[in-house]
Amino acid sequence: MLSVRSLKRLNLGPLNLDISSGEIIALCGPSGVGKSLLLRAIADLDPNEGNIRLTEIARESMAAHEWRKQVMYVPAHSGWWADVVEPHFESALKSDVVDVLHKLGLESTALGWQVANLSTGERQRLSLARALVLKPKILMLDEPTTGLDGENKAKMELVIRNYAADGAGIIFVTHEPEQATRLSSRRLVLIDGQLKEASS
């Protein structure tokens, strides 16, 4: 579904990557190797070169914001542009929002919470939720379960698994080998600006 060919940016690539529908890829590698930069480049958030296509449609033939709606990056540290949670979900259907929040173990009252008072785990879950309700075809998650306790981590992994089962392609960054094995169908390691298939 997503095809990345000869992607290049500072200290990265040229590298190739394919993500198909229903697939979950774990992206591993030492800290500072450029895993986030790779995902940002695919989302076109930083200058980069390469031939990148979603279902055969070239990235450059789409407006940048249309591309990012379909190939969505969820950073490790979420940003918030309003004081309260709700405005961050304003373009989505309310029923979808409540549904996703429940699956992530949050009540709909979370929409009225002050962003400044959110815990790390709540930020992680809400920032995944606001991405999921927009129904991107490719979801790129940067350390999505950092700061979550065991129960909420399991809930989030289930949500990720189900979202892939519905036809999306997912790539996520993780530093936990167990999580990579548990959640992914394929593991990639980024070393020296190159992607390598990890043997499991």
Partner 1 sequence: MTAHYIQLNYIDLAIASVLLLVAGGVSMSLRLGLEKSLGIAALRTVVQLTLVGLVLKILFHMVSPWWTGLAALVMMLLAGREALARQTLKLSRGWSLGIATTSIMIAGTVVTTLALTTAIRPEPWFDPRFAIPLLGMVLGNTLNGVAVGMDRLSATLKREKDAIEARLALGHPRKEAVRPYIQESLRAGLMHIVNSMSAAGLIALPGMMTGQILAGIDPTEAVKYQILIMFLISGSTSLGALIAVVSVSHRLGDDRDRLRLDRFKHNSNG
Contact residues for partner 1, defined by CB under 8 A: 43-47, 63-66, 68-70, 72-75, 77-81, 127, 130-131, 134
Q: How far is the CB of 177 from partner 1 (least distance, A)?
A: 27
State how far the Cα of 182 lies from the Cα of 179, in Å rounded to an integer: 5
Candidates 178, 191, 193, 144; CA nearest to 164 is: 144
Q: How far is the CB of 178 from partner 1 (least distance, A)?
A: 28
Nearer to partner 1, 11 or 194 (CB): 11
State how far the Cα of 169 lies from the Cα of 138, in Å rounded to an integer: 5
What are the C-alpha distances in Å from 97 to residues 7, 91, 117? 34, 10, 20
137: DSSP letter: S
Q: How far is the CB of 95 from partner 1 (least distance, A)?
A: 19
Nearer to partner 1, 44 or 122 (CB): 44
Q: How far is the CB of 42 from partner 1 (least distance, A)?
A: 11
